[in-house]
Structure 1
Amino acid sequence: MIDVCLLGTGGMMPLPNRYLTALMVRYNGKCILIDCGEGTQIALKKSGWSPKPIDMICFTHYHADHISGLPGMLLTMGNAERTEPLLMVGPKGLERVVKALRTIAPELPFPIEYHEITDINDELTLPGMSEFKIKAFKVNHNITCYGYSMELERIGRFNVEAARANDIPQKYWNPLQKGEIIQAEDGRTFTPDMVLGEARKGIHLTYVTDSRPTPGIVEKAMNSDLFICEGMYGEPDKLQKAKENRHMTMYEAAELAKKAQVKEMWLTHYSPSLVNPKEYLPKAKEIFSKTVAAKDGRTTTLRFEEDNE
């Protein structure tokens, strides 16, 4: 299962009851933070989550409302006596931008590792978590910007009958179930496909902010269990402004969700002018009925299909 917490839902500037857009994802004891705008630390505290176990910070792009909270976050992590490396992921220029921000956070008790995205698509995993794929894909903003899709793969069921039919000693069953290839003492080789059925449906989460609608977003979000997408404007007269600034309206986001056949969509990254996003939700739900006007701190746990039954 994957725990998801939308820490903040604001765009451009934080408001008293709306922090800037940031997302926390937790799987198997590992935490990934996407974006770190002003107020992210307070949002974490209010949501009951901690900055100490953050293993990776991914940035969509380098506008201030998505990264200005980083120096304080790093200092807090350092004050919590963190010593293990922190991996940062983001568009080209990541190391230069982070080092500039670290002028006010120069001394940390942990090293920072950088993974700069230079292609249209990129894929990476955390150590020891090969089944959890993090896929970055380029979107259409007025500077280089990426969306992120996270996929938790699920292997097929273990087939005891097949293991016995292949005369595989029981001590090898668990390693095979984990995907290992076994070289037995008697010279035989055992592979996972000898004991596993077809792969089962995993969990798919997609996150997009600061972009015009693109076919690539639909492709990456296809069949997502949860699609978190910016709906910066709800007012009918803001479509042209959305086009000029390379953002999207709540209704354009709903069209993407419909085309991608996602299970549920959370709107986020609201303009400060959008005082009450729920006011415009009915029209968005006419396009995609499973649309939610998310608020700061909205949390869910995504589970495998069988676990939901």
Structure 2
Amino acid sequence: MLHENITALSDSNPHEVGEATVRPTPVRSLLTDDVEEIFRFAIRELARGRVALATLVEIRGGAARALGSHVVIAADGRFCGYVSGGCIEAAIAFEALDALSEDKDREVKYGEGSSFFDIVLPCGGGITVSIHVLRDAQVLSQVLTELGHRRSAGLRYSRSLKQLEMVEPPERAGCVDGGFETIYRPRTRVVISGQSVEAERVAAISNSSGYEVVTHTKRERDLPDIDQYTAVVLLHHDLDAEQAVLHAALRSNAFYIGALGSTRTHRKRVDRLDSSGFSKAQIRRIKAPIGVFGPTRDANSLGLSVLADVAATRLSIYA
């Protein structure tokens, strides 16, 4: 039914029909749910014309996306981003085009509790989306700057003032004192220590997953930067070769530390770390044997196992 409604509207030309104006047909411009790409799209389009920012502000029951997810809609109908599994973004774009035409923010419900009886979400729940007509790109640029410096950023949308502003990053996205606050965290950095086919496979899968990849070999003296959004992956077949990066990781606030090797190898690793003065709590941070399934006998399987473990660990901490 939604497809039929959109198709019917798309058959019209963007010209005036009597006193009514037919809106442009929404067309997905970028296939991405990465907030940095979405905000860059918004900034580029603001330089050319008007733009609306749609934000998922309420979930009733199940939902395909997290609170704070975005869709950006340009005045010519092009859009990017997701607030669902892809089933209602075109409908949201139509609402955003109307908001741009009226120069007025609006809030729309879909699924459970919505007046759109012909739009049913596959998850069976319902969502509320706030649509904000962007006035300038300043706050979006500030978010990108913070993320570029590996710092979290926060935005607050005031429903009463129809205003978007920078705030201290909240612990999680949600409604606070009549407004909606969203947190944006730096992308996952994966530090890969090792010089092997396993290291190459993990690097390749990390890159394709949109992670920031930093490789390190035992010949390099400078240690990589490790912050709380960093996963450290040690893929050596020699405990001596991993020592420098492992020690640095244990002294850091990396959210994940994983090391290649059997259970027997890890016992030797633990003994060495204990004799070097590391505490039991520090040593327990190491995931060894590395990955979510194993043992693996090929580099591709190991890479998938490691990256699945990294993604699951980050999600459990920053959900």
TM, length-normalised to structure 1: 0.31
Say which one has the larger Rg: 2
State the structure with bigger RCO (CA 8 A, min sep 6), 1 or 2.
1
TM, length-normalised to structure 2: 0.31
